[in-house]
Chains A and B, each alone.
Chain A
């Protein structure tokens, strides 16, 4: 669900070639969890089929804290914690707020515009999560080897990558790749800037009451 592979909506072309995108950090090590979206460079393309995703609240944290979904998808926000949360977003792609009192369920939120949606909790400042809403027909996220692959029709593709820790300018996070009749198309992003520090792990979530 988290890094679902959408392969619907492409028109024309023949299938069977492989598109591979790899993201490497400045030290050459692979970066996993990078959101990858792929649009055909020419011709119309439809967004992948919407899906129903879930972003839970567990131990004062979003779980997961990064989702990529096709435009039109829904995301449910249950609260598995013993305390209340108040989820909000003021991102242009989706503004909403959701008072998640314990034991009270809300209908899933529809994400109907492409863009980056940053989520926070109005009660617990340390909670931070992202929903990437994409109109790309192909999307996913890099695995532990820093790569994402999809079976695609031949053709040229515009590739975009995004991750909350990447500091490189947006223009360096886009590229073009052609998937030929034979073999495959590959594109590697070599990040130039060091990543932002990862969110602190293991620190008790109660440590920011004041």
Chain B
């Protein structure tokens, strides 16, 4: 136990330089995008002197390293800058939008895990069976289909033709009052508020985007589960369990336990990736999430939303990876040695 605490203490110390590095790199990259925010903000009729004074006001006349230092200094005070598009502090904007993305991505990932793990386990049990063949085809096509296209197909079928799904215009019906934000996830907040109407509407809006992301991202989980499970079921300890007359279901369960660390790894990588990777689906469904916000920022030389998003995603990924490390300790007694 002490060793685990010591390990996490060490991990946490490294978080600060990691974050600083991420901020530095993304700052330089965002700054290298051509486009002058002062010109964009003032419009085509602005006089050069007005532009110059705005640039001075925004600190854009400073050398790059000074701009960076000012940004970091503000960061330490919890100030992520202001978006000139929304004219609101980036922190406020992100606190509002990040949970939307997180809710979408989390539910999508849950669906992907259910599909990927169960299909992968069954495929590994009978490597020549029809489920294994289905899994091969599924894994291949899930990797090949673009998500925004798949989203449009689903919208066409379930909204336009069948009319089962609500219009792809946000996270909740326009006429339904959203619940008081507590976690920021509409479904959970609605449940907490006991507002069944809002819960129903929010859930209905989740279905198509979650299907899109879940179905397409189950591919890597499926492949990893299948490959690791096949290896585990062929390993010495599985064969020995069969020689000992252990029932097949139990042998499979034990093999899955041994395969879990690899599966958890791919899930954690996907989780971090999807925060930014879901942006096209967010746009298709007008989700109003953080990814969409960051892309707007990139397109309009509005750098603070972009940097804020990068920072949020980085912190989120680090949290996920630390949680996964903790899981490894629980999953495998050999690691704590």
Q: Do A and B come from one complex?
A: no
Binding site for B on A (CB under 8 A): none
Binding site for A on B (CB under 8 A): none
